[in-house]
Amino acid sequence: MNPARSTDEVLARLRRLRATDAPTHGGRILSYVYDSGLTEIDELAAAAAALVQPVNGLDPTVFGSVAAMERELIAFCRTVFHGSDAVGSITSGGTESCLLAVLAARDHAAAPPGTGSVVLASTAHAAFDKAAHLLGVRAVRVPVDPDTTRVRPEDVAAALDDDTFLVVVSAPNYPTGALDPVAQVAEVAAAAGIALHVDACLGGFALPWWPETLPAWDFRVPGVSSISADFHKYGYAPKGASVILHSSRERHRAGFFADTDWPGYPVVNPTLLGSRSAAGLAGAWAITEHLGDDGYRALVERVAAASAAVRRTLDDIDGLRVLGDPAGPVLAVIADPASSSPIDPHRWSTAVAEHGFTLQVQPGYRQSDGTLLPPSTHLTFTPVTAAVVDELVAALHAGAEAARGLPPAEAPEALRTLAEAFDSGAVTVADALALPSKAIEAALVGAGIDPHTDPSATAAALDMPAVIAAIESLPRPVTAKMLTEFLAAYSTPPPDARTTAR
């Protein structure tokens, strides 16, 4: 039985649930959320979303508001990305924009099903692996220069083959914040007649107003065929808004799905969804209309100031250093190999959390040429970071002193034993991947990684350095399967869900 509850009761319960969430505002979390610090734009987006709540974004011929907002957002993007003829579609997020970039490029190149490859820098977002997986194309990851973490154009050139229909670079990449050499890679791609996608999901609405001069990475660069950019990152829109832009109408149209061959209404979908909410579109449209160039420029200045202050701090901390040469609003911190007392970045992250700031740990990554992108800790700066930057700087210093001398975290004991079994050949990856869901859950529980022990447990309760150490020591496909089990458990009701007291 599902009992009815009053609207007040329902909302009161949601408020209690929201109180268990990580804080979305105030600059305490340096990932996931992009807080402008302007209450008025959060309220504006909410009001805009409420106005279009009943609308179906599926059909702009019936809902003219959807068409108008979409046209105006694309026009905004034309000026921001210097593509006076660019065309595109508003999507639900970066992953959808990246999927559409690959889909459109594949169909524009007319690569037969089951063939085709995308060449991407090893630092490109996992969304492109997802696109390759879903579309049945190969993703070929090219190592980046481990010193700068930028991809080298000659390495891209060497990775191209007859199958390649798309090259992907980032502006900037998420793991290290480096801006790939877009112009040089574009020359390589153009010489081979291959499309080039610039993934600006992260930086698309920050780099255009960045106070320091950056190399051109947008449609000013000849050979750039598409750009993805997330309104729900540095556009400060609520989650659910991104854009995919193309240099030509043909490339854009190649990403559409149209079907008149069934008994229902003619289906024409520019994006992956059918019926779709207009809330994300309305939120993004309202915020860009309100902020304009000057609004974005002022916010970006705060991001850049916070970033500069933290970089100066990191220069001062013996034992830590910035990985590569980031340009823009994010960076990654590693143990300084040149220091006599290097600090483990994951222990540092845990210690900084005790001082009130949540950073994001990233595993080390062995590139295909054998070079290592070391274990790191990621920091995303937003305009509100500037408001708390003194406190943040103090926390980064205090965390460094607390973590100094600590060895890197180890994987939980049971998973260390498992890693040895893989190393000795006693267990194969195929064996592990064939295990039933319940057995994988049991392995996680045995390792002390149990989402069931506390149903209200949030990420803060997890020993992330130990989880990352496990990811580093086990075959990656096995850890992907384990994390699938772990995450699925969060949305699986317990057997007694409906009788449990709330």
Ligand X SMILES: *Cc1c(COP(=O)(O)O)cnc(C)c1O
Residue 176 in contact with ligand X, rule: CB under 6 A: no
Considering only residues 37, 93, 143, 326, which one is a binding residue for ligand X as defined by CB under 6 A? 93
Residues 337-396 that bind ligand X (CB under 6 A): none
Q: Smallest distance from the beta carbon of 91 to ligand X, in angstroms?
A: 9
Query: Which of 279, 278, 284, 198 minimizes the C-alpha distance to 235?
Result: 284
Residue 174 in contact with ligand X, rule: CB under 6 A: yes
Here the tokens at position 132 are 């390759």
Task: Tell me whether residue 93 or residue 319 sits nearer to ligand X (CB atom).
Answer: 93
C-alpha span between 187 and 121 (Å, rounded):
16
Residue 441 in contact with ligand X, rule: CB under 6 A: no
Interacting stretch for ligand X, rule CB under 6 A, among 136-144, 199-207, 286-294, 458-466? 199-207
Q: Residue 434 class from Cβ within 10 Å (0-12 exposed, 13-18 middle, 19+ buried)?
A: exposed
Q: Residue 1 class from Cβ within 10 Å (0-12 exposed, 13-18 middle, 19+ buried)?
A: exposed
**Tokens 């320091």, located at residue:** 212
Residue 127 in contact with ligand X, rule: CB under 6 A: yes
Residues 20-49 that bind ligand X (CB under 6 A): none
Here the tokens at position 459 are 């990420």
Residue 230 in contact with ligand X, rule: CB under 6 A: yes
Task: Tell me whether residue 143 or residue 177 sits nearer to ligand X (CB atom).
Answer: 177
H or E stretch at 351: helix 345-354
Residue 57 in contact with ligand X, rule: CB under 6 A: no
Residue 218 in contact with ligand X, rule: CB under 6 A: no
Give how far Cα 456 sits from Cα of 374, 461, 466, Å. 33, 10, 20
C-alpha span between 495 and 502 (Å, rounded):
15
Query: Which of 21, 24, 33 minimizes the C-alpha distance to 456?
Result: 21
Could you tell me the sign of the dihedral formed by the alpha carbons of 97, 228, 251, 277, in that order? positive
Encoded amino acid at 127, one letter: A
Task: Tell me whether residue 125 or residue 347 sits nearer to ligand X (CB atom).
Answer: 125
C-alpha span between 422 and 437 (Å, rounded):
19
Q: Smallest distance from the beta carbon of 457 to ligand X, in angstroms?
A: 23
Here the tokens at position 62 are 């019936």
Task: Tell me whether residue 105 or residue 469 sits nearer to ligand X (CB atom).
Answer: 105
Task: Tell me whether residue 178 or residue 444 sits nearer to ligand X (CB atom).
Answer: 178
Q: Smallest distance from the beta carbon of 278 to ligand X, in angstroms?
A: 18
Give the chain's length.
502
Q: Smallest distance from the beta carbon of 418 to ligand X, in angstroms?
A: 30
| Cβ atoms of 52 and 65 closer than 8 Å | yes
Q: Smallest distance from the beta carbon of 205 to ligand X, in angstroms?
A: 12
Here the tokens at position 50 are 């409420």
Considering only residues 103, 119, 201, 314, which one is a binding residue for ligand X as defined by CB under 6 A? 201
Task: Tell me whether residue 244 or residue 395 sits nearer to ligand X (CB atom).
Answer: 244
Considering only residues 36, 170, 313, 360, which one is a binding residue for ligand X as defined by CB under 6 A? 170
C-alpha span between 404 and 322 (Å, rounded):
17
Task: Tell me whether residue 219 or residue 419 sits nearer to ligand X (CB atom).
Answer: 219
Encoded amino acid at 443, one letter: A
Residue 125 in contact with ligand X, rule: CB under 6 A: yes
Show the CA angle centred on residue 68, arms to residues 62 and 72, nearest 5°. 155
Residue 94 in contact with ligand X, rule: CB under 6 A: yes
Q: Smallest distance from the beta carbon of 102 to ligand X, in angstroms?
A: 12
Task: Tell me whether residue 230 or residue 441 sits nearer to ligand X (CB atom).
Answer: 230
Interacting stretch for ligand X, rule CB under 6 A, among 29-37, 69-77, 195-203, 276-284? 195-203
Task: Tell me whether residue 11 or residue 134 sits nearer to ligand X (CB atom).
Answer: 134
Here the tokens at position 42 are 């959060």
Q: Smallest distance from the beta carbon of 437 to ligand X, in angstroms?
A: 26
Interacting stretch for ligand X, rule CB under 6 A, among 21-29, 169-177, 409-417, 448-456? 169-177
Task: Tell me whether residue 30 or residue 127 sits nearer to ligand X (CB atom).
Answer: 127
Q: Residue 216 class from Cβ within 10 Å (0-12 exposed, 13-18 middle, 19+ buried)?
A: middle
Q: Smallest distance from the beta carbon of 226 to ligand X, in angstroms?
A: 13
**Tokens 């034309």, located at residue:** 78
Residues lying near ligand X in the complex (CB under 6 A): 93-95, 98, 125, 127, 170, 173-174, 199, 201-202, 230, 242
